[in-house]
Amino acid sequence: MVNDASMQQPAGRADLGRVGYQRPMPRQLLTIADEDWAQSASEHILSHVSTPVFPDYSVEITAHGALGDGSTDSTAAIARAIDECVRMGGGRVIVPEGTFLTGAIHLQSNVELHVGRGAVLLFSRDPDRYLPGVHTRFEGVELINHSPFIYARGAENVAVTGPGMLDGQADRECRWPWPDGDTAGQCDAAAERAEAISQLHAMADDGLPVEQRRIEAGALLPPAFIQFYQCRNVLIEGVTLRRAPQWSVHPVLCESVRIRGLHIDGYSPDSDGCTPESCRHVVIEHCTLAVAGNCIALRSGRNSDGRRINVPCEDVLIRHCTMTAGRGGVVIGSETSGGVRNLLVHDCRFAEHDVVLHIRTNALRGGVIENVRMQNVVVERAVDAFMCIDLCDDEGDVGVYKPLVHNIDVRRVTVGQCGEHALDLQGLPDDVLAGITISDTLFNRAGAAWRIDNADVALSNVVINDAHYPHRVLKAT
């Protein structure tokens, strides 16, 4: 038996601001190599995820003056409808059929934003519509930045539901700067964006209070599409999201989150699909994702700021999802400073990705990554490798915060084609990957079987390019 509480990190400052946060109680779990680990982990996660229930009260945004003509600004009308719902003790704010132009939408406790059939929330291209700035995270670092398009902080029992559409309008003509330098009708802003990120990192490393880390001027750092911050009992269900300015769904420091039945279509260069960060008890299920970035990515803060907050992303269940496009399928990192543990992925389909299961971190990030299981999945093509673990991502191996990666288990996977390697597992001489197991898995075609350095890997009933490995152990030297 492994007591997962033995790896538990002390509660960070952010815990004090989390709604209903309690220190996790020690519990006994099966080891990751045990077949029954998946059922045990799934039951534990599901027992801690509560679907919010709302009072039987509803109001349409048109009752407060919203017009579904696609051009009239309905931001204030939507805010008034939310306020009415709150005054009545909570309920449902309904977006009826029509196209409603809006800026930032801020939800509150016990409010469900329901985007009905035939309804479109069309988010403004003007970055000023997302001011004043709010307390948020950008790539693992806290700051005051433009508001996410849909945002709540410190709320309990909150939801965004469908079946309508959320359109962020972040295309080649919008003003948000992207990593490749394309911006809307603006000059190439890639250098300015990089400078803003550098300034933010310096502020965090210097310990500047978050309220003084203000980067919202100039729209250099695009916000997330949907972000719930320090919330509890969150539901995001049924909506279609397209053209996100940055990450599409980004819960941060949340507990009890269910993301279900989403259709995410995001081809802007920075658009990850679902990105839970420093969250606990998360279920992502029955979603279809086609993005330019990573379909699903787990994160827990970056470098000094991640260690300051020190909250892991843990107890995450991903099931019955279809990933049709994206650089990464399921990714951990690279912002891993708070740690990531207890991730179960099962019964998913992946089309074409650079890497399907990707763990990326480095010696500036640090953090413990443990207890990751992927099983019963089908992959059409991995351009680089099906599975990659890289401890030298981004800044490389320079740093004193060596990450610890262990107990990664893959079983019953079928992969049609891998471009370079089936497995690309790169530890460090003084930071060996431990407890990596691959079993009952078929790689039909791969450029090479593996590239493995500084890793302990056990293969059991694995077929790669018609070569059968009934039992083989690869030890770090």
| pLDDT for res 254 | 99
Strands (E), 132-251: 134-138, 141-145, 150-153, 156-161, 165-167, 226-229, 232-237, 240-242
473 CB neighbour count, 10 Å cutoff: 10
Torsion sign, CA atoms 379, 327, 462, 288: negative
Per-residue pLDDT averaged across 258-286, rounded?
94
CA distances from 163 to 263, 264, 321, 339 (A): 10, 13, 17, 34
**Once rounded to an integer, what is the mean pLDDT over residues 94-104?**
99
The tokens for 428 are 């460090």
Mean pLDDT to the nearest integer, 455-471: 97
Alpha helices in 170-282 (DSSP H): 190-205
- What's the pLDDT score for residue 47? 98
For residues 81-92, give the mean pLDDT: 99
pLDDT tens, position by position, 394-451: 888 889 999 999 999 999 999 999 999 999 999 999 999 999 999 999 999 999 999 9
* C-alpha angle 145-148-151 in degrees, rounded to nearest 5: 115
- pLDDT bucket at 333, cuts 50 / 70 / 90: very high
Label residue 344 by pLDDT band (50, 70, 90).
Answer: very high
| pLDDT of 11 strictly over 50 | no
Residue 85's pLDDT is: 98
Residue 283 CB coordination number (10 Å): 21
Inform me whether the pLDDT recorded for 176 exceeds 80: no
Residue 183: per-residue pLDDT = 45
Interval 345-385: pLDDT, tens: 999 999 999 999 999 999 999 999 999 999 999 999 999 99
**Three-state SS at 203:** helix
Residue 292 amino acid letter: A
Locus of tokens 């079993």: 439
CB 193 within 8 A of CB 114: no
Q: When comparing pLDDT for 171 and 159, which is higher?
A: 159
Q: Which helix (H) or strand (E) holds 467?
A: strand 467-474
How much is the mean pLDDT over the chain? 91
Q: Assess whether pLDDT exceeds 90 at residue 159.
A: yes
Q: Is pLDDT of 332 > 90?
A: yes
- Residue pair 460/438 in contact by the 8 Å Cβ criterion: yes
Residue 240 and residue 167 in contact, taking contact as beta carbons nearer than 8 Å: no
Q: Which two tokens stand for residue 166?
A: 């959320």
Domains of the chain with bracketed CATH: 51-173+192-225 (2.160.20.10), 272-476 (2.160.20.10)
Q: 58 falls in which pLDDT band (50, 70, 90)?
A: very high
State CA 293 to chain mean position distance.
Answer: 11
Q: Which residues contact 158 (CB under 8 A, 6 or more apart)?
A: 52, 107, 108, 109, 110, 111, 112, 152, 228, 231, 233, 234, 235
pLDDT of residue 184: 42
Q: What is the pLDDT of residue 83?
A: 99
Residue 262 is predicted with a pLDDT of 99
Q: What is the DSSP string of 35-93?
A: TTHHHHHHHHHHHT-------S-EEEGGGGT---EEEEE-HHHHHHHHHHHHHTT-EEE
Q: Is the peptide bond before 147 cis (omega within 30 degrees of 0)?
A: no
The answer to whether the pTM exceeds 0.85 is yes
